[in-house]
C-alpha cells in the first residue's frame, strides 16, 4: 500500500513525510485497511483550505478537523494494478484546527494532528461518530491508535 502526503499550506511545516507515511501505513495495516496495489492520499491544509470542502461535501458551515473520502466500495482486487494503484481514500486535515483544538483540550499540537490522521483512517475502516455507541467505539479506537503510535513511533511528528 502506498501513502501519499502533501501540504497546501505555508502556515505549517510538515515533518519528514516518510515518517508520516510510516505512521499512516502502520495504522492502515493494524485496522485492516491495507489492500493490494492501493494508495491513501493525505493532504494537510489550514482552515481556509478545509472550509469550502466541508461546505461542499458535508453541507457544514465552517472549518473542521478532518474530512475522509472513502472509495473502498469501488475497489476490486482482481483489477488491482501495481503501476496504477487504486486510491482507496483521501484525508484532508486542517493543521490550523489541530493547533486551536490542542489548546482547547490541553494537548500538544503534534498529538492533535496525529489524532486526526488516526481519526480519518478509522473513518475509512468503517468507524463512525454520529450516534452515542458509534462515538464510544471511535474514541476507544482513537485511544488505541494513539497508544500504538506512541509505542511504535515514540518520536512521531507531523509538524517539524
129 in a known ligand binding site: yes
Q: HEC profile for 92-151?
A: EEEHHHHHHHHHHCCCCHHHHHHHHHHHHHHHHCCCCCCCHHHHHHHHHHHHHHHHHHHH
Distance, CA of 50 to CA of 71 (rounded, Å): 19
Q: Which three cell numbers stand for residue 42?
A: 493525505
30 in a known ligand binding site: no
111 in a known ligand binding site: no
> Which residues are part of a known binding site?
119, 123, 129
Residue numbers belonging to the annotated binding site for Zn(2+) = 119, 123, 129
Amino acid at each position: 500500500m502506498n501513502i501519499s502526503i502533501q501540504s497546501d499550506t505555508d502556515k505549517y511545516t510538515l515533518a519528514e513525510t516518510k515518517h508520516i507515511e510510516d505512521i499512516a501505513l502502520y495504522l492502515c495495516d493494524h485496522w485492516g485497511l491495507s489492500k493490494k496495489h492501493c494508495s491513501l492520499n493525505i493532504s494537510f491544509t489550514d482552515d481556509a483550505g478545509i472550509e469550502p470542502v466541508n461546505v461542499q461535501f458535508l453541507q457544514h458551515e465552517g472549518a473542521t478537523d478532518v474530512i475522509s473520502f472513502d472509495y473502498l466500495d469501488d475497489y476490486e482486487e482482481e483489477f488491482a494494478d501495481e503501476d496504477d494503484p487504486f486510491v482507496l481514500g483521501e484525508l484532508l486535515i486542517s493543521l490550523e484546527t489541530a493547533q486551536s483544538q490542542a489548546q482547547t483540550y490541553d494537548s500538544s499540537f503534534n498529538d492533535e494532528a496525529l489524532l486526526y490522521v488516526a481519526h480519518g483512517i478509522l473513518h475509512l475502516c468503517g468507524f463512525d461518530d454520529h450516534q452515542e455507541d458509534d462515538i464510544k467505539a471511535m474514541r476507544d479506537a482513537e485511544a488505541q491508535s494513539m497508544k500504538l503510535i506512541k509505542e511504535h513511533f515514540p518520536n512521531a511528528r507531523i509538524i517539524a
